[in-house]
């Protein structure tokens, strides 16, 4: 049950079977302007605006022809891509099931599966010029462990991007507070012309997430 407060704020009453934590989460959702915008604009999640804001700052999307979306669920980022560049080929992957998105090839599988990269590129029909990763490891409640687990996913996503990107391409990935560690940043700088960290306004202030944006892929070293 919820009750309207002053200034349009919705206060959620604690139900018998609802914990205080879930009550706070529900109240935050009900009063989140990005959640309301997402519903009004037809996006599946407020996360769509994180990509929109990153794109407005870094011009990530325009001109892209082939896009990979790692950690696709529930599909907000893929929706943004489809709306902004409807002719682009888009493939996405997630462990969680994702409802179909017109124009997007979706794989419900683990990105860490050895077969995953090949399936993505085959479905894409060529090398991508934009690789997006909103992947995060399931948290265990221990900040250092959670950060290490997510950073391992970032490293894997970066390795994939460096293997498949077109020269000049872009890699965007979620990281934890503090950004990518120094070794990972150094690896990005070896492979990309610019590497920057950003926290878009749509990312909640209390959230530990940031994003790293690497642009201008230099190309793979000839063997």
Q: Which residues contact 62 (CB under 8 A, 6 or more apart)?
A: 55, 84, 85
Q: Which residues contact 213 (CB under 8 A, 6 or more apart)?
A: 54, 58, 60, 170, 171, 172, 194, 195, 196, 197, 198
Give the side-chain half-sphere CA count within 13 A for 169. 24
Enzyme catalytic residues = 174
Give the side-chain half-sphere CA count within 13 A for 31. 18
Distance of CA 172 to the CA centre of its chain: 8
Nearest alpha-carbon partner for 91 in 57, 125, 120, 61: 120
Q: What beta strand segments (E) does 85-191 contain?
A: 89-94, 104-108, 130-133, 170-176
Orientation angle between helical segments 33-41 and 48-58, nearest 10 degrees: 90
User: Which residue has 């960290």 as its token pair?
Assistant: 197
């Amino acid at each position: 049950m919820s009750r309207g407060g002053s200034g349009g704020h919705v206060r959620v009453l604690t139900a018998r079977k609802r914990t205080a934590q879930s009550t706070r989460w529900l109240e935050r959702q009900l009063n989140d302007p990005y959640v309301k915008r997402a519903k009004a604009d037809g996006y599946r999640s407020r996360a769509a605006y994180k990509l929109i804001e990153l794109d407005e700052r870094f011009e990530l999307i325009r001109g892209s022809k082939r896009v990979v979306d790692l950690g696709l669920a529930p599909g907000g980022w893929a929706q943004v891509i489809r709306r902004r560049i409807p002719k682009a080929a888009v493939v996405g992957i997630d462990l969680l099931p994702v409802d179909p998105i017109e124009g997007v090839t979706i794989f419900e599988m683990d990105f860490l599966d050895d077969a995953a990269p090949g399936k993505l590129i085959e479905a894409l029909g060529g090398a991508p010029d934009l690789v997006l990763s909103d992947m995060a490891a399931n948290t265990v409640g221990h900040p250092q462990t959670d950060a290490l687990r997510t950073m391992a996913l970032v490293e894997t996503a970066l390795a994939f991007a460096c293997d498949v990107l077109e020269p000049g391409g872009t890699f965007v990935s979620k990281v934890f507070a503090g950004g990518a560690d120094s070794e990972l940043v150094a690896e990005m700088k070896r492979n990309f012309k610019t590497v920057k960290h950003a926290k878009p306004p749509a990312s909640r202030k209390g959230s530990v997430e940031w994003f790293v944006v690497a642009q201008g892929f230099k190309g793979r070293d000839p063997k």
